Chains A and B, each alone.
Chain A
Amino acid sequence: MSPRSYGAGGVPAMAIGRRTMLKGMLGGAGALAGLPLLSACGDDSGGGGGASGTVTFGSNWSDDVPKKGIQAMMDAYGKGKVDINTVEHNSFQEQINNYLQGGPDDVFGWFAGNRMQFFAEQGLVGDISDVWSDIGGGFSDAMKQQSTGKDGKQYFVPIYYYPWAVFYRKSVWQEKGYEPPATLDDFKTLAGQMKSDGLTPLAFGDSDGWPAMGTFDYLNMRINGYDFHVQLMSGEKAWNSSEVKTVFDTWKGLLPLHQTDSLGRTWQEAAQSLLKKESAMYVIGMFAGQQFPEGAERDDLDFFPFPEVDSAVGADSVEAPIDGVMMAPRPRNEEGAKALLKYIGSAKAEDTYLKSDPNNIGAHNDADTSGYNALQKKGEELVSKAKTISQFLDRDTRPDFASTVMIPSLQEFIRNPNDIDGLTKKIEDQKKSIFGS
């Protein structure tokens, strides 16, 4: 039992370490199983709490620009102290399940639509209908609808949104004399022109799997309409229906206009090709501006709405994901949390945020538009004229379906667009197994 014998023991300890790592990974699922038990305790003990005092705020706004915006917004809140815990954006998303079950912050950032409703349905988000009776007047019906759970109660306070559209550089278009096309036929003609001018018509990068969803959503809403989009996302309509096949078939016709080898390219790299004037257009969200250096080059960025495919359907659906905040089901400081939510749902708070991050548009009706740049103004106009607003494929449908079925399937389609029947059948089969459970 001399201390030296611990040295000999060190070797097997290391060997255990190796195996634990392997098995720990294998048993990852089992390890997760233990967490809810712990979290259940945490939730119960967090019931009480004083009216005044600190409110904790879980922030997924981790990039420099949005982080400053959130900080500025909280600094301007006069009624109490807000403790901001910032978590890297993607990690926050990946850990959301454990986060919500393990005693989350009083107020935390999240996304609108089904992605909010999914967690609200499981009772992991706090009902804030009473907050909405105060702030509701400041938001459009579309905003309120996107903040409402399937049970008719409100769970979400929107801060801003960012429309998806077809982005381009004004200077390139002026030089070549291009005009924004209104219909898909015009769009194809224009793209042919661009090709003969030596440009790649559409920048495209789908290494991360989600950017292609934007193109799919727009084609689907232009061909089959917004209602079909909603029904398809909620699992009511079949993925191997003729409607969806038409979408893929139309997309197949457009694929030669896209940048090739898109599956190895990130959306940022694709945006760079637009910046470098190698590509002429890019179907992406307004955040693309982040890839353009501030000043002349960012001001050169412009967009037009995704063109109409079928005149009977029109082009008045806009994809504009909304970001905002939610409340924990049993916040430690409920009164403080609700006061903070009322503040976040005010025009003043949103203006403060947007001053730091002008790549988005305020969700509040009275958000100050006088400070908007040309792109923001145009985006606001696009959305306010829209009849229906969708979120995004991965926000409008079940998260498990979007990430484990749709991302691989869309990548499969981009790789081999010829087997649409087989692909849509595989999607539908998997959808049934996920939605059925």
Chain B
Amino acid sequence: MTATAVREAGTGRPHRPRRTGRQVRTLTRRDQLIVALMVTIPTLVVVGLVWGPAIGTILLSFTDWNGIGNVGDINFVGMENYRNVTTNYPPFQPAIEHNVIWLVVFFLGPTLLGMLLAVMLDRQLRGSRIYQSIFFMPVVLSLALVGFIWQLIYSRDQGLLNQVLGTQTDWFGDPDINLWAVLVAAGWRHTGYIMLLYLAGLKAVDPVLREAAAVDGAGEVRTFLQVVWPVMRPVNIIVIVITVIESLRAFDIAWVINKGRNGLELISTLVTQNVIGEASRVGFGSALATIMIVISTVFIAIYLIQVMREQRR
């Protein structure tokens, strides 16, 4: 929609080429002020809240700062933190592995499931609203509540799951199992999120396309794969990006369960363990955060290239 709007504005311009120059000059004081504010405030917010901290983090990652004292007292230690992270920090490697597992599982599980649910719900089932609410519920629930719900289900001694199955599985304590248990919990939330996004996308698909496909004799599956899917391309990209972001910043449920230790190491929990709290290894934690920034940047770059190519077309 924005693309068409831009094009219209573009085509509109040639009709009044002389006016544009004068218009800028005839802006009232008030308008100038408003324009200035509208440019300055978002810029300050973005620089102050996004770029400032990000660059600060990168700089701090080369120091041994412990979060106490003046900025002037900070010692630069070069690559020391990075060397320690990679060679002298046992939780680091599992954390990377867990983030990758998280990403793969999210793609193969909740994301596909969420899309499937969206396609099903798009077919005007009876009670479709109720299903939507049920699947979307986990996204709305607060983190503390979600943690509590899964604690009740997974607790080894008092949990629902072990009672029903009659087993003694240590769902949260066994490092070979707990990541999968948490992925189920996190996937439960993610499915609803993707479902809603995709459903919104499907609703926007022009019904004429489907009708045309049906007239041409295409079945349901073929219509979806060859007509709807290509039209949904922008939504698909958003879904992919959101899944990647959610996997990289996966944090909350693992943190609620055991502060991201013992099989639940994630880069984000390691950053938090080191930076927040009494520990305050700010330099070391910043090195971990910087590694995370670098990984995210790769995905963000891919996304931006994709979007720009789209716009050029």
Contacts and interface: CB of A to CB of B under 8 A. Distances in A.
Interface in A85-123: 93-94, 96-98, 101, 115, 122
A415 interface: yes
Nearest to B259: A209
A264 B57 contact: no
A209 B261 contact: yes
A101 B65 CA distance: 15
B172 interface: yes
Contacts of A28: 53, 57, 271-272, 275-276, 289
B70 A400 contact: no
Contact of B53 (A27, A209, A404): A27
Interface string B162-206: 000000101111110010000000000000000000000000000
A400 B71 contact: no
A326 to B, nearest CB: 14
16 contacts: A20-B50, A22-B296, A25-B251, A27-B50, A30-B52, A30-B56, A30-B59, A33-B53, A97-B67, A98-B67, A209-B258, A399-B279, A403-B277, A404-B281, A433-B80, A433-B88
Q: Which 6 pairs show the lowest CB-CB distances between chains A and B?
A: A264-B173, A27-B53, A30-B56, A30-B53, A261-B170, A263-B173
A403 B71 contact: no
Interface in B56-96: 56-57, 59-61, 64-71, 77, 80, 84, 88-91
B296 A27 contact: no
A407 interface: yes
A36 B282 contact: no
A399 B279 CA distance: 5
A263 to B, nearest CB: 4
B45 A261 contact: no
B268 A25 contact: yes
Contacts of A269: 155, 157-158
Contact of B56 (A19, A29, A260, A273): A29
Contacts of A407: 261
A429 B50 CA distance: 35
B54 A27 contact: yes
Given A16-B45, A40-B70, A208-B258, A29 B275 contact: yes
A20 B245 CA distance: 12
Given A31-B53, A269-B155, A415-B262, A16 B46 contact: yes
Contacts of B56: 27, 29-31, 33-34
B286 interface: yes
Given A265-B173, A411-B261, A97 B50 contact: no
Interface in B206-238: none
B13 interface: no
Nearest to B277: A94
B261 to A, nearest CB: 6
A400 B279 contact: yes
Contact of A29 (B45, B168, B170, B282): B282
A437 interface: yes
A399 B296 CA distance: 31
B174 A264 contact: yes
B57 A27 contact: yes
Contact of A404 (B68, B273, B296): B273
B22 to A, nearest CB: 18
A31 B286 CA distance: 11
A29 B57 contact: yes
Contacts of A262: 173
A107 to B, nearest CB: 20
Contact of B172 (A25, A264, A272, A429): A264
A37 B52 CA distance: 15
Contacts of B276: 28, 94
Contacts of B64: 437
Given A33-B56, A37-B71, A269-B157, A24 B49 contact: yes
Contacts of B70: 36, 40
Contact of A403 (B65, B90, B268, B278): B278
A429 B84 CA distance: 9
Contact of B50 (A23, A33, A36, A207): A23
Contacts of B59: 30
A29 B288 CA distance: 10
Contacts of B61: 29
A40 B155 CA distance: 45
A20 B49 CA distance: 7
Nearest to B181: A264
A79 interface: no
A407 B269 CA distance: 14
B193 to A, nearest CB: 12
Contacts of B132: none
A94 B67 CA distance: 13
B105 interface: no
B66 A29 contact: no
B152 to A, nearest CB: 13
A407 to B, nearest CB: 6
Nearest to B159: A264
Contacts of B158: 269
Nearest to A9: B38
Contacts of A411: 261-262
A229 to B, nearest CB: 20
A63 interface: no
A327 B67 CA distance: 20
Contacts of B157: 265, 269, 272-273
A32 B31 CA distance: 37
A262 B168 CA distance: 12
Contact of B275 (A32, A40, A208, A415): A32
A115 B277 CA distance: 13
A20 B47 CA distance: 11
A33 B71 contact: yes
Contacts of B172: 207, 263-264
A407 B258 CA distance: 11
Contacts of A26: 53-54, 57, 271, 289, 292-293, 296
Interface string A386-424: 000000000000011001100111011001000000000
A434 interface: yes
B286 A30 contact: yes
A293 B167 CA distance: 29
A1 interface: yes
B278 A97 contact: yes
Interface string B21-48: 0000000000100100000001001100
A124 interface: yes
Contact of B54 (A23, A98, A400, A412): A23
B271 A29 contact: yes
